[in-house]
Amino acid sequence: MTGDAYYIDGVRVPIGRAKDTGYYAQTRADDMAVRSIRALLERNPTVPPSRIDDVAWAATAQVGDQGLTLGRSLAILAGLGKEVPGYAIDRMCAGAVTAIVNSANAIRVGAQDLVLAGGVEHMGGHPMASEVDPNPRFLSDKLVDPSALVMGNTAENLHDHHPEIARERCDEYALQSQERTGKAQANGIFDTHVVPMTVRSPDGWRVVDVDEHPRPGTSMQDLQKLESPFRPGGFVTAGNAAGLNDGAGGVLLASQAAVDEFGLTPRMKMVDYAFVGLEPETMGFGPVPATEKLLARNGLDIGDLDVIDMNEAFAVQCVAFLDHFGLPLDSDHVNPYGGAIAMGHPLAFSGARMAMQIATYLERNPEAQRGLNTMCVGLGMGAAVLWERA
């Protein structure tokens, strides 16, 4: 038995900065995810929590408050019922993407009808690479270059491979991300995605309800003053790269049977997806082969996509993607609402945010039919997901 897997809804908490004064400095990662799940089900009251077939939840740091078989832990903590199972996923930046496509596949083969899929990353509590122990053979056996283990260095490597991508173009792209995100916030684009969360701060309890990371007053002069922390004279800076952030969120996916039984409204369906591997030293190029593979398998070209939401880990990988497919830097259908350079990139969570933005674009643009999510992934991978209006 096969069928379609529909995207019904998506919810996230506001993205915070991963610092001692950030939104979630005194908040647990699993509580951020629980808030997302509860809000998602509150928004879809016809769905009995006990009827959720699985909770697929991703985190890159599978430790501490992001460990203990995260999906199952969240099912219990969110009060879904002891009969609801769950599992944890790690594909670094593509964690939530993997949770979503795995869940969609379970629905498409008829094994499940309702699944919650998402991700969380508390980078303030679990800084990148602070709790991992890479096998020494990576370097001793020269399986990867040392730069492959530092994402900023891989972005500098991508500049080396594409000398035509000047620092100025990356700063222009970064400024565009800030401007588009600011415009999207002002136009209420994220209002249906973001739910308020109560957090504890040094001054007591407070409610946060807007993303903390965007810098709407950014100028080119501001960006050009920044220096690269990765190499002397480098091109990758804090201004043209994604931030270090805390965030959580997920989506509700359903089968046609569940749509009919619970009176749900499908917003889009997953058509296909692709994951690829490539040189870890230039992992930022991953969206290109992933997108090429996906388009070829579906008999499409880049012009057949009405909207593309690309994770902005680094501006250089976004510019490389646009150049490869012959798209201008200011393509109005590529990251129309901005991206991670402005909003931040809480690793395993970001794929859920991107799916929400595709769904919103299709909803606000009735002529649009197809959307693509794509991202680069640490250790040399790329991911791409093809969505279609339901």
Residues 11-45: pLDDT tens digits? 999 999 999 999 999 999 999 999 999 999 999 99
d(CA 108, CA 321) in angstroms, rounded, equals: 30
Number of domains the chain contains: 1
Any domain includes 259: no
Q: Which of 93, 126, 193, 213 is catalytic?
A: 93
State the pTM of this model: 0.97
Q: With contact defined as beta carbons under 8 Å apart, do 274 and 373 qualify? A: no
Q: Is 162 designated active site? A: no
Q: How many residues does the chain have?
A: 390
d(CA 364, CA 346) in angstroms, rounded, equals: 26
Any domain includes 178: yes
Q: Which of 126, 159, 162, 345 is catalytic?
A: 345
Within a 10 A sphere around the Cβ of 296, how many other Cβ atoms? Answer: 11
* Among the listed residues 364, 362, 386, the one whose alpha carbon sits nearest the alpha carbon of residue 374: 386
User: Which residues form the domain of 296?
Assistant: 137-188+271-389
Report CA 374 to chain centroid distance, whole Å. 9
Q: With contact defined as beta carbons under 8 Å apart, do 342 and 188 qualify? A: no
Of residues 138 and 176, the one with the higher pLDDT is: 176
- Parallel, antiparallel, or unpaired: how do β-strands 370-377 and 204-208 relate? unpaired
Q: With contact defined as beta carbons under 8 Å apart, do 272 and 97 qualify? A: no
Any domain includes 317: yes
SS3 content of the chain, % helix, strand, coil (to 5): 35, 20, 40
Determine the pLDDT at residue 129: 80
Any domain includes 75: no
pLDDT for 1 beyond 60: no
Any domain includes 322: yes
Determine the pLDDT at residue 131: 84
List pLDDT tens digits, range 216-253. Answer: 899 999 999 999 999 999 999 999 999 999 999 999 99
Q: Given pLDDT bands bounded at 50, 70 and 90, which one contains residue 344?
A: very high
d(CA 165, CA 156) in angstroms, rounded, equals: 11
List pLDDT tens digits, range 54-109. Answer: 999 999 999 999 999 999 999 999 999 999 999 999 999 999 999 999 999 999 99
Determine the pLDDT at residue 63: 95
d(CA 153, CA 314) in angstroms, rounded, equals: 11
Determine the pLDDT at residue 202: 84
Any domain includes 248: no
Average pLDDT over residues 137-142: 91
Dihedral of the alpha carbons of 326, 329, 333, 338, in degrees to the nearest 10: 140
Any domain includes 76: no
List C-alpha distances in Å: 316 to 88, 94, 163, 328.
Answer: 31, 19, 11, 14
d(CA 339, CA 18) in angstroms, rounded, equals: 17
Within a 10 A sphere around the Cβ of 133, how many other Cβ atoms? Answer: 6
Which residues are CB-neighbours of 279 under 8 A, at least 6 positions away? 148, 380
Determine the pLDDT at residue 168: 97
Determine the pLDDT at residue 292: 98
Dihedral of the alpha carbons of 254, 381, 311, 86, in degrees to the nearest 10: 30
Q: With contact defined as beta carbons under 8 Å apart, do 96 and 119 qualify? A: yes
Q: Is 376 designated active site? A: yes
Any domain includes 153: yes
208-246 CB burial, b ≥16 within 10 A, e <16: beebbbbeeebeeeebeebebebeeebbbbbbbbbbbbb
Q: With contact defined as beta carbons under 8 Å apart, do 126 and 61 qualify? A: yes
One-letter amino acid for residue 169 of the chain: R
- In the structure encoding, which two tokens stand for residue 323, read together? 């150049």
d(CA 367, CA 354) in angstroms, rounded, equals: 20
List C-alpha distances in Å: 140 to 135, 144, 145.
Answer: 9, 9, 10
Average pLDDT, the chain: 96
CATH of residue 279's domain is: 3.40.47.10
